[in-house]
Amino acid sequence: MQNFILDTNVLLHDPTAIRQYEASHVIIPLKVLEEIDRFKRELSERGRNARTVSRALDELRKQGRLSDGVTLEHGGTIKVIFADENDPFAVGLPADDLILKMAMDLKKAQPDERCTVVSKDINLRLKADALGLEAEDYENGKHREENEIYTGQAVLEADAEAIGSFATEGYAVVQGMEELSANQYVTLKNPNDPKQTMLGRYDAETRRVVKLLTIGDAGTPITPRNREQRFAMDALLNDKIKLVTLAGKAGTGKTLLAIAAGYHQVMETKFYKRLLVSRPIFPMGKDLGYLPGTVEEKLDPWMQPIHDALALIVHNRGGSGPSRKGGDLLASNPLIDVEPLTYIRGRSIPNQFMIVDEAQNLTPLEVKTVITRVGQDTKIVLTGDLYQIDNPYVDSLSNGLSAAVDKFRNEALASHMLLTEGVRSDIAEKAANLL
């Protein structure tokens, strides 16, 4: 069986990682446990994960000595190893270097078995490679390449008759749609006349490509400026779709579209009782009590993009004008609320339009925590830029937003759209592409 040596950041990223390697030896250096112990007192999600790891290992300890190895239910084993106290080279080594030394010692002691260092630290993986050790990033689930990120849309060929039928009947059955995911958006294009196109959404229940919602009749305060935004707005306004994920670079309109759709369905159609907007205050769960001021004053710098979007939307609806701050709108309107994700655990949130901005900075477990708070008749929207990540424990593929897209891809209650066309300004679009 293969040996997998787990780094501290792997366990902090996913405390269930010790059970993800079937029919293999999972090895945790004692130094890693010491680092876990330093984090377990934090009131953050990282602290909760550290405590979860400690409790899981304590339960396994009851089955046998971790130093000898404990057999797991899937046939593999887990073992805690420590450096030889008599080895002068192990004294005073930094944690990363000690992990690498222990991996090299294990490889020499068991040359017939593969030994892989698993870490989310790129530099540690580079060091391992330089030392001739196998190293890999941790992924909970199937491996994906960056160019395989689901875009949420596809182009299918349709003849003039099919496009004409789609325009009159509101649906079409075309070749190739059997390979589409639930609620994937479709551009029907006539190969004989490229200018003849129609936009639709694949309905997995009826197995048809159906028409999009008519935005003009909906009266939303923001008009989509391109095809991707048109697809996104359809998902945001469709009450059958309860989870919407919007990903894209800066300036593509993710947050503005989500807030506009939520504002419309709370303030105008009154389909939802409240608009709830939240952003992770990184790191998620950081105690705001150590900062001066009230909760509103502490949140204001983090929520300024939300305030800007609200001010623009109200101005577009003939409101009090762009000079009025978004924070003032929040203070005067009980139907719109901005809250930190810090306090979301244990809650049930019914009949609300909920937006989680900057969701790419959350881990998959944090996103699970958020989505499982959704109550009856609530719609949740996750937005984020997969390439602007501040959390050192996730990357463009392992973050919570990517995990939600991947896991809900074939669910009829979910929809995703990857926005690529910048609409903020010409200079913003150039900066997003060139810098």
Residue 131 belongs to what domain range? Answer: 3-136
303 within domain boundaries: yes
Angle 135-138-144 from CA coordinates, rounded to 5°: 105
* Residue 269 shares a structural domain with residue 371: yes
* Residue 60 shares a structural domain with residue 169: no
Q: Output the pLDDT for position 401.
A: 94
Q: Output the pLDDT for position 285.
A: 46
Q: What is the DSSP string of 128-147?
A: HHHTT-EEE---SSS---GG
Q: What is the DSSP string of 275-315?
A: EEEE---TTTT--GGGSSS-HHHHHHHHHHHHHHHHHHHHH
In this prediction the pTM is 0.72
163 within domain boundaries: yes
Q: Output the pLDDT for position 319.
A: 53
Q: How many domains does the chain fold into?
A: 3
Q: What is the CATH number of the domain that holds 67?
A: 3.40.50.1010
Angle 402-378-338 from CA coordinates, rounded to 5°: 80
413 within domain boundaries: yes
220 Cβ neighbours under 8 A, 6+ residues apart: 233, 237, 260, 261, 264
User: Distance of CA 335 to CAs 57, 201, 376, Å?
Assistant: 45, 31, 18
Q: Which contacts of 78-87 are long-range, i.e. CB under 8 A and separated by 24 or more positions? A: 78/18, 78/25, 78/26, 78/27, 78/28, 79/25, 79/26, 79/27, 79/28, 80/27, 80/28, 80/29, 80/30, 80/33, 81/27, 81/28, 81/29, 81/30, 81/106, 82/29, 82/30, 83/29, 83/30, 83/31
In the structure encoding, which two tokens stand for residue 179, read together? Answer: 């390979």
* Residue 82 shares a structural domain with residue 164: no
Q: What are phi and psi of 70, to 5 degrees?
A: -120, 130
Q: Which of 192, 211, 230 delimits the end of a domain?
A: 211
Q: What is the CATH number of the domain that holds 159?
A: 2.30.130
* Residue 67 shares a structural domain with residue 166: no
157 within domain boundaries: yes
> What does the pLDDT profile of the chain (435 residues) look like in tens digits?
788 999 998 998 888 888 888 888 999 988 899 889 988 888 777 888 899 999 999 999 889 889 888 888 877 899 998 866 556 555 567 788 888 888 888 888 888 888 899 998 889 999 999 998 899 988 764 444 444 679 999 999 999 999 998 999 999 999 999 899 999 999 999 999 888 999 999 999 999 999 998 776 556 667 888 999 999 999 999 999 999 999 998 889 999 999 999 999 998 899 999 999 888 765 444 455 555 666 666 666 666 777 777 777 776 666 544 444 545 555 567 788 877 777 677 788 999 999 999 999 998 888 998 999 999 999 999 999 988 888 777 777 888 999 999 999 999 999 999 999 887 777 876 776 776
Pairing of strands 208-211, 171-172: antiparallel
* Residue 396 shares a structural domain with residue 309: yes
State the Cα–Cα distance between residues 383 and 306, nearest whole angstrom. Answer: 12
* Residue 333 shares a structural domain with residue 206: no
User: Distance of CA 330 to CAs 164, 222, 260, 365, 382, Å?
Assistant: 46, 19, 14, 30, 21
